[in-house]
Structure 1
Amino acid sequence: MFRRTDRRNHDHDHDHARGQGPGPGPAETALRLVKVSKTYGSDDSAVTALDEVTFSLADGSFTAVMGPSGSGKSTLLQCAAGLDRPDSGIVMVDGAAMTGGTEAELTRFRRNRIGFVFQQYNLLDTLTVAQNTVLPLKLARRRVDRARVREILAAVGLGDRLGHRPDQLSGGQRQRVAIARALVTEPSVIFADEPTGALDTRSARDVLRLLQEAVRVHGRTVVMVTHDPVAASYADSVLFLADGRLVGELHRPTVDAVAERLAHLGDDVMTGA
Protein backbone atom coordinates (compact mmCIF):
# COMPACT_ATOMS: atom_id res chain seq x y z
CA MET A 1 0.00 0.00 0.00
CA PHE A 2 1.45 3.37 1.04
CA ARG A 3 5.23 3.80 0.79
CA ARG A 4 6.80 5.47 3.81
CA THR A 5 8.69 8.60 2.82
CA ASP A 6 10.59 11.29 4.67
CA ARG A 7 8.61 14.41 5.47
CA ARG A 8 9.54 17.53 3.63
CA ASN A 9 9.86 21.14 4.76
CA HIS A 10 9.95 20.20 8.44
CA ASP A 11 12.31 21.52 11.07
CA HIS A 12 12.67 18.40 13.18
CA ASP A 13 13.92 14.85 12.78
CA HIS A 14 11.30 12.11 13.11
CA ASP A 15 13.44 8.99 13.24
CA HIS A 16 12.15 8.01 16.68
CA ALA A 17 10.23 4.80 17.16
CA ARG A 18 6.53 4.87 16.39
CA GLY A 19 3.98 4.02 18.99
CA GLN A 20 5.57 5.86 21.94
CA GLY A 21 3.31 7.89 24.16
CA PRO A 22 3.29 11.68 24.11
CA GLY A 23 6.62 12.97 25.37
CA PRO A 24 8.03 16.34 26.34
CA GLY A 25 10.01 16.87 23.16
CA PRO A 26 8.72 17.90 19.72
CA ALA A 27 10.28 14.83 18.09
CA GLU A 28 7.72 12.62 19.88
CA THR A 29 4.71 14.94 19.75
CA ALA A 30 2.86 15.72 16.54
CA LEU A 31 0.19 17.98 18.06
CA ARG A 32 0.13 19.81 21.37
CA LEU A 33 -2.53 22.15 22.76
CA VAL A 34 -1.85 24.12 25.93
CA LYS A 35 -4.76 25.85 27.70
CA VAL A 36 -6.55 26.63 24.44
CA SER A 37 -9.72 28.68 24.91
CA LYS A 38 -12.24 30.09 22.47
CA THR A 39 -15.35 32.16 23.17
CA TYR A 40 -17.97 33.30 20.67
CA GLY A 41 -20.13 36.36 21.29
CA SER A 42 -19.81 38.76 24.21
CA ASP A 43 -21.44 39.76 27.49
CA ASP A 44 -24.67 37.84 28.18
CA SER A 45 -24.59 36.09 24.80
CA ALA A 46 -21.02 34.79 25.18
CA VAL A 47 -20.55 31.06 24.62
CA THR A 48 -17.33 29.34 25.70
CA ALA A 49 -16.64 26.77 23.01
CA LEU A 50 -13.25 25.70 24.42
CA ASP A 51 -12.18 26.15 28.03
CA GLU A 52 -8.41 25.77 28.59
CA VAL A 53 -8.07 22.50 26.66
CA THR A 54 -4.67 20.85 27.04
CA PHE A 55 -3.43 17.60 25.48
CA SER A 56 -0.61 16.10 23.42
CA LEU A 57 -0.84 13.54 20.61
CA ALA A 58 2.03 11.26 19.71
CA ASP A 59 3.54 11.26 16.26
CA GLY A 60 2.00 8.45 14.21
CA SER A 61 -1.24 8.13 16.20
CA PHE A 62 -4.93 8.00 15.27
CA THR A 63 -7.18 9.93 17.66
CA ALA A 64 -10.94 10.41 17.55
CA VAL A 65 -12.58 13.42 19.20
CA MET A 66 -16.13 12.95 20.46
CA GLY A 67 -18.72 14.60 22.65
CA PRO A 68 -22.34 15.74 22.84
CA SER A 69 -23.67 18.36 20.44
CA GLY A 70 -22.19 21.73 21.38
CA SER A 71 -19.28 20.19 23.28
CA GLY A 72 -16.67 22.06 21.24
CA LYS A 73 -15.54 19.31 18.84
CA SER A 74 -15.65 21.42 15.68
CA THR A 75 -14.08 24.42 17.38
CA LEU A 76 -11.29 22.21 18.67
CA LEU A 77 -10.57 20.91 15.18
CA GLN A 78 -10.65 24.40 13.67
CA CYS A 79 -8.28 25.85 16.27
CA ALA A 80 -5.94 22.84 16.23
CA ALA A 81 -5.79 22.89 12.42
CA GLY A 82 -5.18 26.62 12.14
CA LEU A 83 -8.53 27.32 10.50
CA ASP A 84 -9.50 29.55 13.43
CA ARG A 85 -7.46 31.33 16.07
CA PRO A 86 -8.01 30.59 19.76
CA ASP A 87 -8.53 33.52 22.11
CA SER A 88 -5.74 32.22 24.32
CA GLY A 89 -3.44 29.25 24.64
CA ILE A 90 -0.87 27.60 22.37
CA VAL A 91 -1.25 25.22 19.44
CA MET A 92 1.92 23.46 18.31
CA VAL A 93 2.52 21.13 15.35
CA ASP A 94 5.89 19.34 15.35
CA GLY A 95 7.04 21.72 18.06
CA ALA A 96 6.30 24.82 16.00
CA ALA A 97 3.64 27.21 17.31
CA MET A 98 0.74 28.06 15.01
CA THR A 99 -0.62 30.75 17.31
CA GLY A 100 0.69 34.19 16.46
CA GLY A 101 2.06 35.31 13.13
CA THR A 102 0.27 36.75 10.14
CA GLU A 103 -2.53 35.12 8.16
CA ALA A 104 -0.11 34.56 5.27
CA GLU A 105 2.33 32.78 7.58
CA LEU A 106 -0.45 30.64 9.01
CA THR A 107 -1.63 29.72 5.51
CA ARG A 108 1.90 28.63 4.52
CA PHE A 109 2.17 26.62 7.73
CA ARG A 110 -1.08 24.77 7.01
CA ARG A 111 -0.11 24.02 3.44
CA ASN A 112 3.20 22.47 4.49
CA ARG A 113 2.24 20.57 7.61
CA ILE A 114 -1.49 19.92 7.71
CA GLY A 115 -3.92 17.87 5.61
CA PHE A 116 -7.71 18.00 5.67
CA VAL A 117 -10.51 15.52 5.00
CA PHE A 118 -14.01 17.02 5.24
CA GLN A 119 -17.46 15.42 5.35
CA GLN A 120 -18.48 17.08 2.07
CA TYR A 121 -15.18 16.27 0.32
CA ASN A 122 -14.49 19.89 -0.83
CA LEU A 123 -13.47 18.81 -4.33
CA LEU A 124 -13.59 21.17 -7.31
CA ASP A 125 -16.10 19.86 -9.84
CA THR A 126 -14.19 21.22 -12.82
CA LEU A 127 -10.98 19.36 -11.96
CA THR A 128 -10.14 15.70 -12.50
CA VAL A 129 -9.24 13.29 -9.72
CA ALA A 130 -5.53 13.83 -10.38
CA GLN A 131 -5.92 17.61 -10.55
CA ASN A 132 -7.89 17.74 -7.30
CA THR A 133 -5.24 15.59 -5.63
CA VAL A 134 -2.31 17.84 -6.56
CA LEU A 135 -4.15 21.11 -5.88
CA PRO A 136 -2.50 21.64 -2.44
CA LEU A 137 0.93 21.25 -4.04
CA LYS A 138 0.03 23.75 -6.75
CA LEU A 139 -1.25 26.26 -4.20
CA ALA A 140 1.94 25.88 -2.17
CA ARG A 141 4.04 26.17 -5.34
CA ARG A 142 5.68 22.86 -4.61
CA ARG A 143 6.98 20.39 -7.15
CA VAL A 144 4.48 17.77 -8.29
CA ASP A 145 5.88 14.24 -8.41
CA ARG A 146 3.51 12.64 -10.91
CA ALA A 147 4.69 9.12 -10.14
CA ARG A 148 4.08 9.70 -6.44
CA VAL A 149 0.58 11.05 -7.14
CA ARG A 150 -0.26 7.98 -9.23
CA GLU A 151 1.07 5.74 -6.44
CA ILE A 152 -1.10 7.42 -3.81
CA LEU A 153 -4.21 7.30 -5.99
CA ALA A 154 -3.58 3.63 -6.75
CA ALA A 155 -3.16 2.95 -3.03
CA VAL A 156 -6.60 4.46 -2.27
CA GLY A 157 -8.18 2.45 -5.07
CA LEU A 158 -8.42 5.17 -7.72
CA GLY A 159 -5.58 4.20 -10.02
CA ASP A 160 -8.00 3.85 -12.93
CA ARG A 161 -9.91 7.08 -12.19
CA LEU A 162 -7.25 9.76 -12.62
CA GLY A 163 -9.10 11.49 -15.45
CA HIS A 164 -12.58 11.29 -13.92
CA ARG A 165 -14.34 14.30 -12.44
CA PRO A 166 -16.13 14.31 -9.06
CA ASP A 167 -19.60 13.97 -10.59
CA GLN A 168 -18.46 10.66 -12.12
CA LEU A 169 -17.55 9.22 -8.71
CA SER A 170 -19.49 7.74 -5.81
CA GLY A 171 -19.43 9.38 -2.39
CA GLY A 172 -16.90 6.87 -1.15
CA GLN A 173 -14.66 7.48 -4.15
CA ARG A 174 -14.84 11.24 -3.63
CA GLN A 175 -13.72 10.80 -0.04
CA ARG A 176 -10.84 8.64 -1.28
CA VAL A 177 -9.77 11.57 -3.46
CA ALA A 178 -9.91 13.80 -0.38
CA ILE A 179 -7.67 11.37 1.52
CA ALA A 180 -5.22 11.22 -1.39
CA ARG A 181 -5.21 15.03 -1.50
CA ALA A 182 -4.47 15.13 2.23
CA LEU A 183 -1.59 12.65 1.87
CA VAL A 184 0.13 14.15 -1.16
CA THR A 185 1.74 17.03 0.75
CA GLU A 186 3.15 14.58 3.32
CA PRO A 187 1.69 16.53 6.25
CA SER A 188 2.49 16.11 9.93
CA VAL A 189 -1.17 15.93 10.92
CA ILE A 190 -4.33 15.07 8.98
CA PHE A 191 -7.56 16.50 10.41
CA ALA A 192 -10.71 14.63 9.41
CA ASP A 193 -14.06 16.29 10.17
CA GLU A 194 -16.86 13.68 10.19
CA PRO A 195 -15.22 11.95 7.20
CA THR A 196 -17.81 9.16 7.08
CA GLY A 197 -20.88 11.27 7.82
CA ALA A 198 -22.16 11.26 4.24
CA LEU A 199 -21.21 7.67 3.36
CA ASP A 200 -22.93 4.32 3.41
CA THR A 201 -21.65 1.66 5.81
CA ARG A 202 -19.35 -0.10 3.35
CA SER A 203 -17.81 3.11 2.00
CA ALA A 204 -17.37 4.40 5.54
CA ARG A 205 -15.50 1.26 6.54
CA ASP A 206 -13.20 1.56 3.53
CA VAL A 207 -12.43 5.21 4.31
CA LEU A 208 -11.67 4.43 7.96
CA ARG A 209 -9.29 1.67 6.92
CA LEU A 210 -7.51 4.11 4.62
CA LEU A 211 -7.11 6.53 7.52
CA GLN A 212 -5.69 3.68 9.61
CA GLU A 213 -3.21 2.91 6.84
CA ALA A 214 -2.25 6.58 6.62
CA VAL A 215 -1.14 6.23 10.24
CA ARG A 216 0.25 2.70 10.42
CA VAL A 217 1.88 2.44 7.01
CA HIS A 218 2.41 6.03 5.94
CA GLY A 219 3.38 7.38 9.35
CA ARG A 220 0.90 10.27 9.55
CA THR A 221 -0.94 11.51 12.62
CA VAL A 222 -4.73 11.60 12.21
CA VAL A 223 -7.22 13.55 14.32
CA MET A 224 -10.83 12.70 13.49
CA VAL A 225 -13.95 14.42 14.80
CA THR A 226 -16.88 12.02 14.72
CA HIS A 227 -20.21 11.30 16.40
CA ASP A 228 -20.15 7.63 15.39
CA PRO A 229 -18.87 5.02 17.90
CA VAL A 230 -18.13 2.63 15.04
CA ALA A 231 -15.87 5.19 13.37
CA ALA A 232 -14.20 5.98 16.69
CA SER A 233 -13.40 2.29 17.21
CA TYR A 234 -10.94 2.47 14.32
CA ALA A 235 -8.82 5.00 16.23
CA ASP A 236 -6.05 4.24 18.72
CA SER A 237 -7.71 6.43 21.34
CA VAL A 238 -10.70 8.73 21.86
CA LEU A 239 -10.75 12.14 23.51
CA PHE A 240 -14.10 13.18 24.99
CA LEU A 241 -15.26 16.78 25.26
CA ALA A 242 -18.15 18.27 27.21
CA ASP A 243 -18.95 21.97 27.59
CA GLY A 244 -15.67 22.91 25.95
CA ARG A 245 -13.54 20.87 28.34
CA LEU A 246 -11.59 17.67 27.95
CA VAL A 247 -13.38 15.23 30.26
CA GLY A 248 -11.92 11.84 29.44
CA GLU A 249 -9.84 9.58 27.23
CA LEU A 250 -10.33 6.01 26.09
CA HIS A 251 -7.50 3.84 24.76
CA ARG A 252 -8.04 0.93 22.37
CA PRO A 253 -11.70 1.88 21.99
CA THR A 254 -14.45 -0.59 21.20
CA VAL A 255 -17.85 0.35 19.84
CA ASP A 256 -19.60 -0.60 23.08
CA ALA A 257 -17.12 1.24 25.30
CA VAL A 258 -17.37 4.41 23.23
CA ALA A 259 -21.18 4.28 23.15
CA GLU A 260 -21.31 3.78 26.93
CA ARG A 261 -19.00 6.73 27.56
CA LEU A 262 -21.04 8.95 25.25
CA ALA A 263 -24.24 7.93 26.98
CA HIS A 264 -22.78 8.94 30.34
CA LEU A 265 -21.65 12.27 28.92
CA GLY A 266 -25.11 12.87 27.51
CA ASP A 267 -26.67 12.12 30.90
CA ASP A 268 -24.23 14.49 32.61
CA VAL A 269 -25.07 17.28 30.17
CA MET A 270 -28.81 16.78 30.68
CA THR A 271 -28.51 16.80 34.47
CA GLY A 272 -25.95 19.60 34.58
CA ALA A 273 -23.40 17.39 36.34
Structure 2
Amino acid sequence: MISMDAGEALRLDSVRKVYGTADNPVTALDGVSLRLPTGTFTAIMGPSGSGKSTLLQCAAGLDRPTEGTVAIAGQPIPKGSEAAVTRFRRDRIGFVFQQFNLLPTLTALENVTLPLRLAGRKIDKKRCAGLLAQVGLGDRMNHRPAQLSGGQQQRVAIARALASSPALIFADEPTGALDTRSARDVLALLATAVRDHGQTVVMVTHDPAAAAYAHSVVFLADGRIVGELARPTADAVAEQMTRLTDAAARHAPVGV
Protein backbone atom coordinates (compact mmCIF):
# COMPACT_ATOMS: atom_id res chain seq x y z
CA MET A 1 0.00 0.00 0.00
CA ILE A 2 1.39 3.41 -0.98
CA SER A 3 2.11 5.80 1.89
CA MET A 4 -0.18 8.74 1.21
CA ASP A 5 0.50 12.34 2.12
CA ALA A 6 -2.55 13.15 4.24
CA GLY A 7 -3.18 16.48 2.54
CA GLU A 8 -1.60 16.63 -0.90
CA ALA A 9 -2.08 14.27 -3.83
CA LEU A 10 -0.27 16.31 -6.50
CA ARG A 11 2.30 19.08 -6.35
CA LEU A 12 3.90 20.89 -9.28
CA ASP A 13 6.64 23.43 -8.52
CA SER A 14 7.67 25.89 -11.27
CA VAL A 15 7.24 23.30 -14.04
CA ARG A 16 8.41 24.34 -17.49
CA LYS A 17 8.29 22.24 -20.63
CA VAL A 18 10.05 23.44 -23.75
CA TYR A 19 9.95 21.59 -27.06
CA GLY A 20 11.84 22.24 -30.28
CA THR A 21 15.42 23.42 -30.67
CA ALA A 22 17.51 26.13 -29.08
CA ASP A 23 16.97 28.23 -32.21
CA ASN A 24 13.23 27.62 -32.29
CA PRO A 25 11.95 26.76 -28.79
CA VAL A 26 8.26 26.22 -28.10
CA THR A 27 7.24 26.70 -24.47
CA ALA A 28 4.29 24.44 -23.68
CA LEU A 29 4.35 25.04 -19.90
CA ASP A 30 5.77 28.20 -18.42
CA GLY A 31 6.45 27.97 -14.69
CA VAL A 32 3.31 26.14 -13.57
CA SER A 33 2.88 25.59 -9.82
CA LEU A 34 -0.12 23.66 -8.55
CA ARG A 35 -1.18 21.84 -5.40
CA LEU A 36 -4.17 19.51 -5.33
CA PRO A 37 -5.49 18.08 -2.04
CA THR A 38 -6.13 14.39 -1.59
CA GLY A 39 -9.72 13.35 -2.25
CA THR A 40 -10.54 16.05 -4.78
CA PHE A 41 -11.78 16.10 -8.38
CA THR A 42 -10.08 18.75 -10.54
CA ALA A 43 -10.75 19.56 -14.20
CA ILE A 44 -8.02 21.11 -16.38
CA MET A 45 -9.27 23.29 -19.22
CA GLY A 46 -7.97 25.79 -21.74
CA PRO A 47 -8.04 26.74 -25.41
CA SER A 48 -6.30 24.57 -27.98
CA GLY A 49 -2.55 24.86 -27.46
CA SER A 50 -2.88 26.14 -23.90
CA GLY A 51 -0.73 23.34 -22.45
CA LYS A 52 -3.37 21.23 -20.72
CA SER A 53 -2.30 17.94 -22.32
CA THR A 54 1.36 18.71 -21.62
CA LEU A 55 0.44 19.48 -18.02
CA LEU A 56 -1.21 16.08 -17.66
CA GLN A 57 1.71 14.29 -19.29
CA CYS A 58 4.28 15.97 -17.04
CA ALA A 59 2.15 15.57 -13.91
CA ALA A 60 1.66 11.87 -14.67
CA GLY A 61 5.30 11.15 -15.44
CA LEU A 62 4.59 10.43 -19.11
CA ASP A 63 6.88 13.29 -20.12
CA ARG A 64 9.73 14.96 -18.25
CA PRO A 65 9.64 18.67 -17.42
CA THR A 66 12.45 20.80 -18.77
CA GLU A 67 12.55 22.49 -15.36
CA GLY A 68 10.73 22.12 -12.07
CA THR A 69 9.54 19.19 -10.00
CA VAL A 70 6.43 17.01 -9.74
CA ALA A 71 5.44 15.00 -6.65
CA ILE A 72 2.67 12.42 -6.25
CA ALA A 73 1.41 11.90 -2.68
CA GLY A 74 4.53 13.58 -1.35
CA GLN A 75 6.96 11.50 -3.45
CA PRO A 76 8.88 13.26 -6.27
CA ILE A 77 8.73 11.57 -9.66
CA PRO A 78 12.23 10.10 -10.07
CA LYS A 79 14.62 11.71 -12.53
CA GLY A 80 16.48 8.49 -13.22
CA SER A 81 15.89 5.78 -15.80
CA GLU A 82 12.64 5.33 -17.69
CA ALA A 83 12.25 1.99 -15.92
CA ALA A 84 12.29 3.77 -12.55
CA VAL A 85 9.66 6.26 -13.75
CA THR A 86 7.53 3.41 -15.08
CA ARG A 87 7.65 1.63 -11.72
CA PHE A 88 6.73 4.89 -9.97
CA ARG A 89 3.70 5.39 -12.25
CA ARG A 90 2.60 1.79 -11.93
CA ASP A 91 2.53 1.97 -8.15
CA ARG A 92 0.92 5.38 -7.72
CA ILE A 93 -1.09 6.42 -10.78
CA GLY A 94 -4.18 5.17 -12.60
CA PHE A 95 -5.14 6.29 -16.10
CA VAL A 96 -8.43 6.66 -17.97
CA PHE A 97 -8.01 7.61 -21.63
CA GLN A 98 -10.44 8.70 -24.32
CA GLN A 99 -9.91 5.52 -26.36
CA PHE A 100 -10.25 3.06 -23.43
CA ASN A 101 -7.00 1.18 -24.26
CA LEU A 102 -8.41 -2.25 -23.39
CA LEU A 103 -6.74 -5.38 -24.75
CA PRO A 104 -9.24 -6.94 -27.18
CA THR A 105 -8.30 -10.56 -26.43
CA LEU A 106 -8.88 -10.21 -22.67
CA THR A 107 -12.17 -10.26 -20.80
CA ALA A 108 -13.33 -7.27 -18.79
CA LEU A 109 -12.07 -8.91 -15.58
CA GLU A 110 -8.72 -9.81 -17.16
CA ASN A 111 -8.31 -6.21 -18.35
CA VAL A 112 -8.95 -4.96 -14.81
CA THR A 113 -6.38 -7.34 -13.28
CA LEU A 114 -3.76 -6.73 -15.99
CA PRO A 115 -1.94 -3.78 -14.30
CA LEU A 116 -1.58 -5.85 -11.12
CA ARG A 117 -0.27 -8.77 -13.12
CA LEU A 118 2.27 -6.59 -14.94
CA ALA A 119 3.42 -5.13 -11.61
CA GLY A 120 3.92 -8.59 -10.15
CA ARG A 121 1.42 -7.82 -7.40
CA LYS A 122 -0.98 -10.25 -5.80
CA ILE A 123 -4.26 -10.33 -7.71
CA ASP A 124 -7.43 -10.23 -5.63
CA LYS A 125 -9.95 -11.38 -8.23
CA LYS A 126 -12.82 -10.98 -5.81
CA ARG A 127 -11.97 -7.32 -5.27
CA CYS A 128 -11.51 -6.71 -9.01
CA ALA A 129 -14.84 -8.38 -9.74
CA GLY A 130 -16.33 -6.15 -7.04
CA LEU A 131 -14.97 -3.08 -8.82
CA LEU A 132 -16.67 -4.18 -12.03
CA ALA A 133 -19.90 -4.68 -10.09
CA GLN A 134 -19.53 -1.17 -8.66
CA VAL A 135 -19.33 0.31 -12.16
CA GLY A 136 -22.40 -1.65 -13.21
CA LEU A 137 -20.70 -4.51 -15.06
CA GLY A 138 -21.10 -7.38 -12.63
CA ASP A 139 -22.84 -9.40 -15.35
CA ARG A 140 -20.31 -8.46 -18.07
CA MET A 141 -16.99 -9.39 -16.49
CA ASN A 142 -16.41 -12.32 -18.84
CA HIS A 143 -17.19 -10.26 -21.95
CA ARG A 144 -14.43 -9.02 -24.25
CA PRO A 145 -14.26 -5.34 -25.32
CA ALA A 146 -15.89 -6.02 -28.71
CA GLN A 147 -18.95 -7.30 -26.85
CA LEU A 148 -19.29 -4.08 -24.84
CA SER A 149 -20.55 -0.63 -25.73
CA GLY A 150 -18.24 2.37 -25.62
CA GLY A 151 -19.67 3.46 -22.29
CA GLN A 152 -19.21 -0.04 -20.86
CA GLN A 153 -15.61 -0.17 -22.09
CA GLN A 154 -14.88 3.12 -20.34
CA ARG A 155 -16.39 1.69 -17.15
CA VAL A 156 -13.95 -1.22 -17.43
CA ALA A 157 -11.15 1.33 -17.82
CA ILE A 158 -12.27 3.10 -14.62
CA ALA A 159 -12.36 -0.20 -12.71
CA ARG A 160 -8.88 -0.97 -14.06
CA ALA A 161 -7.61 2.44 -12.89
CA LEU A 162 -9.00 1.77 -9.40
CA ALA A 163 -7.64 -1.78 -9.14
CA SER A 164 -4.20 -0.82 -7.85
CA SER A 165 -5.57 1.71 -5.31
CA PRO A 166 -3.54 4.54 -6.87
CA ALA A 167 -2.74 7.82 -5.17
CA LEU A 168 -4.02 9.68 -8.21
CA ILE A 169 -6.14 9.01 -11.29
CA PHE A 170 -5.53 11.01 -14.47
CA ALA A 171 -8.40 11.11 -16.95
CA ASP A 172 -7.62 12.46 -20.43
CA GLU A 173 -10.83 13.47 -22.22
CA PRO A 174 -12.55 10.38 -20.74
CA THR A 175 -15.94 11.19 -22.32
CA GLY A 176 -14.67 12.33 -25.73
CA ALA A 177 -15.70 9.13 -27.51
CA LEU A 178 -19.03 8.64 -25.71
CA ASP A 179 -22.64 9.65 -26.26
CA THR A 180 -24.20 12.08 -23.80
CA ARG A 181 -25.84 9.48 -21.56
CA SER A 182 -22.73 7.30 -21.35
CA ALA A 183 -20.62 10.38 -20.68
CA ARG A 184 -22.83 11.34 -17.73
CA ASP A 185 -22.57 7.82 -16.32
CA VAL A 186 -18.77 7.81 -16.59
CA LEU A 187 -18.44 11.24 -14.96
CA ALA A 188 -20.75 10.18 -12.16
CA LEU A 189 -18.53 7.14 -11.55
CA LEU A 190 -15.43 9.31 -11.33
CA ALA A 191 -17.21 11.63 -8.90
CA THR A 192 -18.29 8.62 -6.84
CA ALA A 193 -14.71 7.32 -6.71
CA VAL A 194 -13.71 10.65 -5.18
CA ARG A 195 -16.65 11.00 -2.81
CA ASP A 196 -17.01 7.43 -1.58
CA HIS A 197 -13.49 6.04 -1.92
CA GLY A 198 -11.29 9.08 -1.29
CA GLN A 199 -9.65 8.93 -4.71
CA THR A 200 -8.08 12.02 -6.29
CA VAL A 201 -8.98 12.63 -9.94
CA VAL A 202 -7.40 15.09 -12.38
CA MET A 203 -9.33 15.32 -15.66
CA VAL A 204 -8.40 17.13 -18.86
CA THR A 205 -11.55 18.05 -20.78
CA HIS A 206 -12.87 20.54 -23.31
CA ASP A 207 -16.49 20.04 -22.21
CA PRO A 208 -17.98 22.52 -19.69
CA ALA A 209 -20.69 19.99 -18.77
CA ALA A 210 -18.00 17.44 -17.88
CA ALA A 211 -16.02 20.02 -15.89
CA ALA A 212 -19.13 20.75 -13.81
CA TYR A 213 -18.75 17.33 -12.14
CA ALA A 214 -15.42 18.44 -10.64
CA HIS A 215 -14.84 20.24 -7.34
CA SER A 216 -12.80 22.89 -9.15
CA VAL A 217 -11.53 23.87 -12.59
CA VAL A 218 -8.02 25.08 -13.35
CA PHE A 219 -7.77 27.17 -16.53
CA LEU A 220 -4.62 27.35 -18.67
CA ALA A 221 -3.60 29.77 -21.40
CA ASP A 222 -0.22 30.04 -23.11
CA GLY A 223 1.25 27.46 -20.76
CA ARG A 224 0.30 29.32 -17.59
CA ILE A 225 -2.46 28.96 -15.02
CA VAL A 226 -4.73 31.97 -15.58
CA GLY A 227 -7.66 31.18 -13.33
CA GLU A 228 -9.44 28.73 -11.06
CA LEU A 229 -13.13 28.17 -10.44
CA ALA A 230 -14.52 26.43 -7.35
CA ARG A 231 -17.87 24.62 -7.38
CA PRO A 232 -18.15 25.05 -11.15
CA THR A 233 -21.35 25.11 -13.16
CA ALA A 234 -21.42 24.33 -16.88
CA ASP A 235 -22.51 27.90 -17.66
CA ALA A 236 -19.74 29.50 -15.60
CA VAL A 237 -17.11 27.23 -17.16
CA ALA A 238 -18.41 27.91 -20.68
CA GLU A 239 -18.29 31.67 -20.04
CA GLN A 240 -14.68 31.51 -18.85
CA MET A 241 -13.67 29.30 -21.77
CA THR A 242 -15.28 31.73 -24.23
CA ARG A 243 -13.23 34.59 -22.77
CA LEU A 244 -10.02 32.58 -22.94
CA THR A 245 -10.68 31.37 -26.49
CA ASP A 246 -11.50 34.89 -27.67
CA ALA A 247 -8.33 36.22 -26.04
CA ALA A 248 -6.27 33.47 -27.68
CA ALA A 249 -7.78 34.33 -31.08
CA ARG A 250 -6.97 38.02 -30.65
CA HIS A 251 -3.32 37.23 -29.92
CA ALA A 252 -2.92 34.57 -32.63
CA PRO A 253 -0.50 35.36 -35.48
CA VAL A 254 -2.05 36.59 -38.74
CA GLY A 255 -3.23 33.66 -40.84
CA VAL A 256 -3.63 31.28 -37.89
TM bucket normalised to smaller: over 0.9
Q: How does 1:32-181 map to 2 (within 5 A)?
A: 32-181=11-160
Distance across 1 between alignment mates of 2:128 and 2:34 = 34
**Offset at residue 219 of structure 1 (A):** 0.8
Identity %: 65
Q: Report the counterpart of residue 251 of structure 1 in structure 2.
A: 230
Q: Report the counterpart of residue 3 of structure 2 in structure 1.
A: 11
**Offset at residue 11 of structure 1 (A):** 2.9
**Offset at residue 99 of structure 1 (A):** 4.2
Distance across 1 between alignment mates of 2:35 and 2:168 = 13
Distance across 1 between alignment mates of 2:137 and 2:184 = 16
CA RMSD of aligned residues (A): 1.1
Q: Which of 203, 206, 219 is the matching residue for 2:198?
A: 219
Distance across 1 between alignment mates of 2:153 and 2:29 = 32
- Contact 2:14/2:68 (8 A) holds in 1: yes
**Offset at residue 27 of structure 1 (A):** 2.3
Q: Which of 169, 172, 192 is the matching residue for 1:190?
A: 169
Closer, same or farther: CA 124–187 of 1 in aligned 2, 3 Å: same
- Contact 1:239/1:246 (8 A) holds in 2: yes
**Offset at residue 44 of structure 1 (A):** 4.4
- Contact 1:38/1:87 (8 A) holds in 2: yes
Q: Report the counterpart of residue 217 of structure 2 in structure 1.
A: 238
- Contact 2:78/2:84 (8 A) holds in 1: no
Distance across 2 between alignment mates of 1:45 and 1:228 = 32
Q: Report the counterpart of residue 21 of structure 1 in structure 2.
A: none
Q: Aligned to 1:86, what secondary structure does the other structure show?
A: coil
**Offset at residue 246 of structure 1 (A):** 0.6
Q: Which of 235, 247, 253 is the matching residue for 1:268?
A: 247
Q: Mind listing any 5+ residue stretches in structure 1 that lack a counterpart?
A: 1-7, 13-25
Q: Aligned to 2:197, what secondary structure does the other structure show?
A: coil
**Offset at residue 270 of structure 1 (A):** 1.6
Q: Mind listing any 5+ residue stretches in structure 2 that lack a counterpart?
A: none
Distance across 1 between alignment mates of 2:249 and 2:29 = 19
TM-score w.r.t. the length of structure 2 is 0.96
